Chains A and B, each alone.
Chain A
Amino acid sequence: MEILNALALLSNYLVIPALAYGSQLALGALGVTLIYGILRFSNFAHGEMMAFGTMAVILVTWFLQAQGISLGFLPTELLALPIGILAAVLLALGTDRIVYRFHRGKKSQPVIFLIASLAVMFFYSGLTRFIIGTADQSMGDGARFIFTAREFKEWSGLDEGIALRTTQGITVAVTLICVAALFWFLNRTRAGKSMRAYSDNEDLALLSGVNPERVVLIAWILAAALATIAGTMYGLDKTFKPFIYLQLLLPIFAAAIVGGLGSPIGAVAGGFVIAFSEITVTFAYKRVLTYIMPGDNVPDGLVQLLSTEYKFAVSFVILVVVLLVRPTGIFKGQSV
């Protein structure tokens, strides 16, 4: 019983939040890794692309709510998501047309692309703040919980409850759908295979008749869609803060690199590795220990390895270690 209580506690405060956060990182890292695989540069504007897409979703949601449209117990944001994706895709394609296509034509070095993406990042962040302001926006209507801690306690008879928030459930479900759809696309369709071929061996893909501009177009569409979905899921789970997506860039890049840059399966795995590391290292284990350790031995402190303010340091350390020890990542992507 004590063990079960300890497990319930861990599930509620560690496993479920890490699954949701890992899903958001995985979606973000997929976009980064796709752009790296096809355009061969680290797109630092990806975080702000998430912010822009999420902002578009919020604006459409406000419009829908004003019309009295809602999705019942699901958040209205899900209904607004396709239009938000469309806005982000248009922005990404416009940027590619104005900025990146010029550099492709000049066959610029990857580092030039990277610097250009920094400029794009500042532009996006200004654009987002210009439109929606710098204030936080709370997101998500509909039912707050799929089941609450109290309902779980009554059902299980345990002292510790597990709550599953609607947004957490939606995040995991949406991620599963997106990842399955993306892998189906990459492995089963002609366009998807041509993208993998182009990412694997550009010269040979060109010889095989793959049109590079088309591959780049699809890559931006996928990256913008994934960014919007990831940003919206993060905003639903927490709140929308315009600056938070810049901070998310570090764990997202850490996830993509840990998994192996250019490897979609690696991005997903990396997202969960980073999320679970951040949360397990910054989690206070005191209450878990009170359940599984005999009375007097429980330590006085919180039994927390690092305070939560340092959670980005965790992804940074993992990033550095991976780059030193195994630069190609878990799934053998390209080395940076």
Chain B
Amino acid sequence: MSFLLGKDMTGGYGAADILHACTIGVERGEIAVVVGPNGAGKSTAMKAVFGMLDLRAGQVTMDGEDITSLSPQARVQKGMGFVPQTNNVFRSMSVEENLEMGAFIRTDDPSDTMAQVFDLFPILKQKRNQPAGELSGGQRQQVAVGRALMTQPKVLMLDEPTAGVSPIVMDELFDRIIEIARSGIAILMVEQNAKQALNIADKGYVLAQGANLYTDTGEALLNDPDVRKAFLGG
């Protein structure tokens, strides 16, 4: 069983279900990527794992513990970090204050973690006193990821971290994400750039209409002719 696992999740925002027995999970130190066409329920599946969606069926477990009924805040306490797709920084606050807010629930001194985040994203150290809203898209994503890392999570969940950034910045961000995974953190992310994301993925989930279509290693999915034809543009 995976370290973090959303199993047979069924539910939606209103009466109609968006997810139909959808299963996604990730192991410690690995990267799992959720891809699929628009409206496939990728982000919804992610939100369901994080507790932002009421599930009618299925369960979410972390490290063997059932966390299905916990609120998102309680899941953060348990060691989940979440980076939303949009509005994921405090725009009027400085980079450093953004990171401080990330560590808000910690009772110990977070300065070591902040130093680690600055090592991971050196540009943030340079711009530590600048309001996050004034940074470029890629830098803002770094702030958002850095903020989530401040709680020292065991799992980091990223909702389209490369949305709206240039291909160069995307490669750079993926490199950093691999680095984070190597430090032992499980990474579950939703991506539009399916090919590049599956390239760095240990495990890939292809969703369609709220259900699992293909599940395999990233490499296998990339080489699967059906997946290539349907989702990766040949």
Interface set of A (CB-CB < 8 Å, partner B): 190, 193-194, 196-197, 200-201, 203-210
Enumerate chain A residues within 8 angstroms of B76, measured Cβ to Cβ: 207-209
Contact of A193 among B72, B84, B93 (CB under 8 A): B93
Identify 26 residue pairs between A and B in the complex whose beta-carbon atoms are under 8 Å apart, listed by A's number.
A193-B93, A193-B97, A193-B101, A194-B101, A196-B92, A197-B97, A197-B101, A197-B104, A200-B90, A200-B92, A200-B93, A201-B91, A203-B84, A204-B84, A204-B88, A205-B90, A205-B101, A207-B73, A207-B84, A208-B76, A208-B102, A208-B147, A209-B77, A209-B104, A210-B101, A210-B104
Enumerate chain B residues within 8 angstroms of A193, measured Cβ to Cβ: 93, 97, 100-101
| B91:A209 contact, CB within 8 angstroms | no
| A204:B77 contact, CB within 8 angstroms | no
In the assembled complex, the CB of A204 is this many whole angstroms from the nearest CB of chain B, namely: 6
Enumerate chain A residues within 8 angstroms of B73, measured Cβ to Cβ: 206-207, 209
Given the interface pairs A201-B90, A201-B91, the reply to whether A209 lies near B105 with Cβ below 8 Å is yes
In the assembled complex, the CB of A314 is this many whole angstroms from the nearest CB of chain B, namely: 30
| B87:A204 contact, CB within 8 angstroms | yes
| Minimum-distance CB pairs A-B, first 8 | A209-B105, A200-B90, A208-B104, A197-B101, A200-B92, A208-B101, A209-B104, A197-B90
Task: Tell me the bound Cα distance from A98 to B133 in angstroms.
Answer: 37
- Residue B205, interface by CB 8 Å: no
Given the interface pairs A207-B76, A209-B73, the reply to whether A201 lies near B105 with Cβ below 8 Å is no
Enumerate chain B residues within 8 angstroms of A208, measured Cβ to Cβ: 76, 101-102, 104-105, 147
Which of A194, A206, A208: most chain B Cβ within 10 A? A208
How many residue pairs between the two chains, A and B, have CB atoms under 8 Å in the bound complex? 54
Enumerate chain A residues within 8 angstroms of B88, measured Cβ to Cβ: 204
The residue in chain B whose Cβ has the minimal distance to the Cβ of A194 is: B104
| A200:B104 contact, CB within 8 angstroms | no
The residue in chain A whose Cβ has the minimal distance to the Cβ of B97 is: A193
Enumerate chain A residues within 8 angstroms of B77, measured Cβ to Cβ: 209
- Count of chain B residues with Cβ under 8 Å from any Cβ of A? 20
- Residue B211, interface by CB 8 Å: no
- Residue B60, interface by CB 8 Å: no
Contact with A along B73-99 (1 / 0, CB 8 A): 100110000101001111111000100
Enumerate chain A residues within 8 angstroms of B91, measured Cβ to Cβ: 200-201
Task: Tell me the bound Cα distance from A35 to B105 in angstroms.
Answer: 24
Within 8 A of A (CB), among B87-144: 87-93, 97, 100-102, 104-105
| A204:B89 contact, CB within 8 angstroms | yes
In the assembled complex, the CB of B199 is this many whole angstroms from the nearest CB of chain A, namely: 29
Task: Tell me the bound Cα distance from A208 to B93 in angstroms.
Answer: 14
Task: Tell me the bound Cα distance from A207 to B72 in angstroms.
Answer: 7
Contact with A along B172-189 (1 / 0, CB 8 A): 000000000000000000
Enumerate chain A residues within 8 angstroms of B72, measured Cβ to Cβ: 206-207
Task: Tell me the bound Cα distance from A21 to B72 in angstroms.
Answer: 47
| B89:A201 contact, CB within 8 angstroms | yes
Task: Tell me the bound Cα distance from A205 to B105 in angstroms.
Answer: 11
Contact of A204 among B90, B97, B105 (CB under 8 A): B90
| A197:B93 contact, CB within 8 angstroms | yes
Enumerate chain A residues within 8 angstroms of B105, measured Cβ to Cβ: 208-209
Task: Tell me the bound Cα distance from A201 to B82 in angstroms.
Answer: 15
Which of A193, A207, A209: most chain B Cβ within 10 A? A207
Task: Tell me the bound Cα distance from A232 to B93 in angstroms.
Answer: 33
Enumerate chain A residues within 8 angstroms of B90, measured Cβ to Cβ: 196-197, 200-201, 204-205
Enumerate chain B residues within 8 angstroms of A206, measured Cβ to Cβ: 72-73
Enumerate chain A residues within 8 angstroms of B147, measured Cβ to Cβ: 208
The residue in chain B whose Cβ has the minimal distance to the Cβ of A193 is: B97
Enumerate chain A residues within 8 angstroms of B84, measured Cβ to Cβ: 203-204, 207
Enumerate chain B residues within 8 angstroms of A196, measured Cβ to Cβ: 90, 92-93, 97
| B104:A203 contact, CB within 8 angstroms | no
The residue in chain B whose Cβ has the minimal distance to the Cβ of A203 is: B87
In the assembled complex, the CB of B104 is this many whole angstroms from the nearest CB of chain A, namely: 5
